[in-house]
């Protein structure tokens, strides 16, 4: 497969040489990079996974999943009665998914810091390096594009006749190249504009936003948008679509196969879609590449960071909160380390932050399901019910998501310090950790949700919010007892949990449902809710005491070598 791809690239040698690329070196760099990609999964999960019996996700399964997604978005192609509609929709989603994959899988490749010391000191010019990055990304993504596109290629054959199939193939290549170019462009601009640290953060947040919005589209669009109204959309009646690349791509099909209903504008778009990728490649090699390494060098050299002068150590508000909530020294250490690592670790944020958005999405998904009503009627319906209890308990999803990830870290080996220090009660670190999670993430989040609840459902919900918050903390501690077996950020990142954990998760899920239903049942007696707060606080206190007492036996140690 790789050899074939390299041969394919070889076809363009003449063109590339003209732009000043050394094709021999380019070939070598690409060959080695592809080789490393193939070996990457093995290093990612390492021998460790093999030892503990876990398996890396099977590539066939992953491929099938991609094809399934291709099938789902391929359904859009059936919207063929209006010009451009179906295909524009298809290629919009297609390109978005390509861009998402590129950003999440390849930010590390596009800025592989090792290249600094391995490739740059050798006599390789800027253009060759930049072109090799661009082609490497394109080759990698073309595999995914192919899998994602197969269902579309078949479907278009049904919808538009056999002639559309080879054309669709070309359109997919167009879409892929354009996605790569766009993402590259953004990278080039970002690298130029911001520091390395910021750059990584921005990529991080883009990834989070992307995955959340995909999720939101998937769940909410069917709830909030009437599919029937889509039928009447005339794509070209909106001027902004002129600048929307998927429109150019779908114009190719329109111009060649439906020439009856196409006009000169569509032909212009079709030509634009064909030549832009070629212009783009030329643009990367000629305009962006020179000096790219220079900027990259500056970026990675600045990574070390110059600390000007001495910063005085002072106790900031975090230390005050820490000292107040976790006065015991060991607990205090657990509290602060969790706070600081959690808010600074990208992997953790990547996995946990989307959960904050999932809660409202789930809520709307489950509650806005009245049929045949307008949006405002649905809202009114929700407002008059006691669904807010559901919303408040749904926030425990955030707790769950944090607890599942808090003991894992890519740099878990740094946790050796725990094992060399004389800590007789590791439960104190865990309780510090739990307090930090509550203080940093859960409490602020509940405050926001609580205020929203008060605004929508009125002040009588105050007692419910307080009670639910306290119960959630107890519930969270139960989850922590069963799911968090390691100290904060001390274990390698797991591919997936074992089956035993699945059962525990189901039991825990059942428990929160029972708690929520119980609360809902009691909610009609306001005083009962107020009174219940007191025993719950007591249980909370007892639980914390018990939680602190965990000994080393209860904690799974990751082997550190």
Partner 1 sequence: MTNQPIIQIKNLQKFYDNKQVLKNINLDVYPGQVIGYIGPNGAGKSTTVKILTGLIPDFVGEVTVDGINLSENPQEIKKLMGYVPENAEIYDVLTPMEYLDFIGKLYGMEEPLLSDRIEKLLTAFGLADNINDRMDTFSKGMKQKVLLTAGIINNPKILILDEPLSGLDANAVILVKELIMRLSKEGKTIFYCSHMMDVVEKVSDRILLINKGQIIADGTFESLKQNYSDTLEQVFSKLTGREESGIETDAIINAFV
Pick the stretch among 31-39, 87-95, 101-109, 218-226 that binds partner 1 (CB under 8 A): 31-39
Q: Between 112 and 328, name the residue whose CB sits nearer to partner 1.
A: 112
Residue 17 is a binding residue for partner 1 (CB under 8 A)? no
Residue 293 is a binding residue for partner 1 (CB under 8 A)? yes
Residue 132 is a binding residue for partner 1 (CB under 8 A)? no
Residue 50 is a binding residue for partner 1 (CB under 8 A)? no
Alpha-carbon span 40 to 455, nearest angstrom: 50
Pick the stretch among 72-80, 116-124, 231-239, 395-403 that binds partner 1 (CB under 8 A): 116-124
Residues 367 to 406: which contact partner 1 by CB under 8 A? none
SS3 408: strand
H/E run at residue 128: helix 126-160
Q: Between 31 and 485, name the residue whose CB sits nearer to partner 1.
A: 31
Residue pair 491/407 in contact by the 8 Å Cβ criterion: yes
Alpha-carbon span 236 to 220, nearest angstrom: 26
How does DSSP classify residue 488? T
Helix ranges (H only) for 302-410 are 317-325, 329-344, 346-367, 375-383, 388-394, 396-406
Q: Between 14 and 121, name the residue whose CB sits nearer to partner 1.
A: 121
Residue pair 132/184 in contact by the 8 Å Cβ criterion: no
Residue 542 is a binding residue for partner 1 (CB under 8 A)? no
Residue 559 is a binding residue for partner 1 (CB under 8 A)? no
Residue 306 CB, nearest approach to partner 1 (Å):
6
Q: Between 18 and 40, name the residue whose CB sits nearer to partner 1.
A: 40
* Phi-psi sector, 309: left (phi>0), alpha (psi -120 to 50), beta: left
Residue 419 CB, nearest approach to partner 1 (Å):
22
Which among 385, 354, 350 has a CA at the least distance from the CA of 367? 385
Q: Which of 24, 68, 218, 541 binds partner 1 (CB under 8 A)?
A: 24
Q: Between 307 and 534, name the residue whose CB sits nearer to partner 1.
A: 307
Residue 29 is a binding residue for partner 1 (CB under 8 A)? yes
Residues 174 to 213: which contact partner 1 by CB under 8 A? none
Which among 478, 44, 88 has a CA at the least distance from the CA of 248? 88
Which among 394, 415, 406, 520 has a CA at the least distance from the CA of 461? 520
Residue 557 CB, nearest approach to partner 1 (Å):
23
Alpha-carbon span 355 to 129, nearest angstrom: 38
**Residue matched to tokens 């690592």:** 341
Show the tokens assigned to 216: 């939101």
Q: Which of 62, 118, 275, 417 binds partner 1 (CB under 8 A)?
A: 118
Q: Between 36 and 448, name the residue whose CB sits nearer to partner 1.
A: 36
Main-chain phi, psi angles of 517, to 5 degrees: -65, -40
Helix ranges (H only) for 368-498 are 375-383, 388-394, 396-406, 416-420, 426-437, 443-457, 462-483
Residue 282 CB, nearest approach to partner 1 (Å):
22
Q: Between 95 and 111, name the residue whose CB sits nearer to partner 1.
A: 111
Residue 59 is a binding residue for partner 1 (CB under 8 A)? no
Alpha-carbon span 350 to 345, nearest angstrom: 9
Residue 260 is a binding residue for partner 1 (CB under 8 A)? no
Q: Contacts for 376-385 with beta carbons within 8 Å, 24 or more apart?
A: 383/456, 383/457
Residue 162 is a binding residue for partner 1 (CB under 8 A)? no
Q: Which of 8, 17, 18, 36 binds partner 1 (CB under 8 A)?
A: 36
Residue pair 488/341 in contact by the 8 Å Cβ criterion: yes
Angle at 147 between CA 144 and CA 148, to 5 degrees: 85
Residue 527 CB, nearest approach to partner 1 (Å):
59
Q: Which of 297, 375, 452, 542 binds partner 1 (CB under 8 A)?
A: 297
Q: Between 122 and 344, name the residue whose CB sits nearer to partner 1.
A: 122
Q: Between 24 and 541, name the residue whose CB sits nearer to partner 1.
A: 24
Number of residues that bind partner 1 (CB under 8 A): 31
Alpha-carbon span 407 to 493, nearest angstrom: 9
Helix ranges (H only) for 11-22 are 13-18
**Residue matched to tokens 């107040």:** 324
Residue pair 394/513 in contact by the 8 Å Cβ criterion: no
Residue 305 CB, nearest approach to partner 1 (Å):
10
How does DSSP classify residue 11? T
Residues 403 to 422: which contact partner 1 by CB under 8 A? none
Q: Between 308 and 553, name the residue whose CB sits nearer to partner 1.
A: 308
Q: Between 232 and 561, name the residue whose CB sits nearer to partner 1.
A: 561
Residue 123 is a binding residue for partner 1 (CB under 8 A)? yes
Alpha-carbon span 391 to 394, nearest angstrom: 5
Q: Between 63 and 125, name the residue whose CB sits nearer to partner 1.
A: 125
Alpha-carbon span 391 to 453, nearest angstrom: 9
How does DSSP classify residue 440? I
Q: Which of 14, 53, 59, 121 binds partner 1 (CB under 8 A)?
A: 121
Q: Which of 2, 28, 328, 347 binds partner 1 (CB under 8 A)?
A: 28
Q: Between 94 and 106, name the residue whose CB sits nearer to partner 1.
A: 106
Residues 298 to 327: which contact partner 1 by CB under 8 A? 298, 301-302, 306, 308
* Interface ranges with partner 1 (CB under 8 A): 24-25, 28-29, 32, 35-36, 39-40, 42-43, 113-114, 116-125, 293-294, 297-298, 301-302, 306, 308
């Amino acid at each position: 497969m790789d050899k074939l791809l390299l041969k394919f690239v070889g076809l363009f040698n003449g063109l590339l040489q003209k732009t000043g690329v050394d094709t021999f070196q380019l070939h070598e760099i690409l060959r080695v990079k592809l080789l490393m990609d193939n070996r990457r999964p093995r290093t990612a999960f390492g021998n460790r996974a093999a030892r503990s019996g876990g398996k890396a996700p099977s590539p066939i399964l992953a491929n099938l999943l991609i094809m399934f997604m291709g099938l789902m978005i391929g359904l859009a192609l059936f919207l063929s009665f209006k010009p451009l509609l179906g295909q524009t929709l298809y290629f919009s989603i297609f390109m978005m998914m390509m861009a998402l994959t590129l950003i999440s899988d390849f930010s590390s490749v596009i800025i592989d810091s090792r290249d600094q010391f391995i490739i740059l000191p050798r006599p390789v010019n800027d253009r060759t390096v930049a072109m090799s990055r661009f082609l490497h990304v394109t080759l990698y993504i073309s595999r995914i594009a192919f899998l994602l596109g197969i269902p579309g290629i078949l479907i278009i054959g049904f919808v538009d006749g056999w002639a559309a199939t080879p054309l669709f193939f070309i359109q997919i290549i167009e879409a892929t190249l354009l996605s790569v170019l766009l993402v590259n462009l953004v990278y080039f601009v970002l690298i130029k504009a911001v520091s390395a640290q910021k750059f990584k953060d921005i990529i991080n947040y883009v990834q989070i936003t992307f995955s959340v919005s995909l999720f939101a589209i998937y769940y909410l669009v069917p709830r909030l948008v009437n599919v029937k109204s889509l039928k009447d959309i005339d794509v070209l009646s909106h001027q902004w679509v002129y600048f929307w690349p998927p429109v150019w791509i779908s114009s190719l099909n329109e111009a060649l196969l439906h020439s009856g209903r196409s006009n000169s504008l569509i032909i212009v778009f079709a030509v634009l879609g064909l030549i832009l990728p070629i212009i783009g490649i030329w643009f990367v090699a000629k305009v962006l590449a020179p000096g790219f390494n220079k900027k990259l060098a500056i970026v990675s050299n600045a990574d070390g960071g110059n600390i000007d002068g001495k910063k005085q150590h002072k106790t900031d508000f975090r230390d005050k909160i820490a000292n107040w909530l976790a006065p015991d020294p060991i607990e205090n250490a657990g509290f602060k380390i969790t706070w600081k690592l959690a808010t600074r670790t990208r992997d953790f944020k990547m996995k946990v932050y989307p959960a904050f958005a999932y809660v409202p999405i789930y809520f709307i998904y489950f509650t806005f399901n009245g049929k045949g009503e307008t949006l405002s009627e649905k809202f009114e319906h929700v407002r008059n019910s006691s669904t807010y209890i559901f919303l408040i308990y749904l926030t425990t999803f955030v707790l769950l998501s944090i607890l599942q990830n808090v003991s894992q870290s890519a740099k878990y080996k740094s946790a050796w310090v725990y094992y060399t220090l004389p800590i007789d009660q590791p439960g104190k670190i865990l309780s510090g950790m739990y307090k930090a999670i509550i203080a940093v993430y859960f409490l602020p989040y509940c405050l926001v949700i609580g205020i929203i609840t008060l605004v929508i459902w009125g002040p009588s919900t105050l007692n419910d919010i307080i009670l639910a918050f306290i119960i959630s903390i107890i519930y969270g501690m139960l989850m922590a007892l069963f799911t968090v077996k390691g100290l904060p950020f001390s274990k390698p990142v797991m591919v997936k949990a074992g089956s035993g954990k699945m059962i525990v998760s189901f039991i825990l899920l059942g428990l929160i449902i029972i708690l929520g239903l119980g609360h809902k049942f009691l909610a009609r007696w306001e005083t009962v809710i107020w009174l219940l707060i007191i025993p719950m606080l007591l249980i909370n206190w007892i639980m914390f005491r018990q939680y602190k007492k965990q000994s080393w036996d209860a904690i799974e140690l990751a082997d550190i070598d």
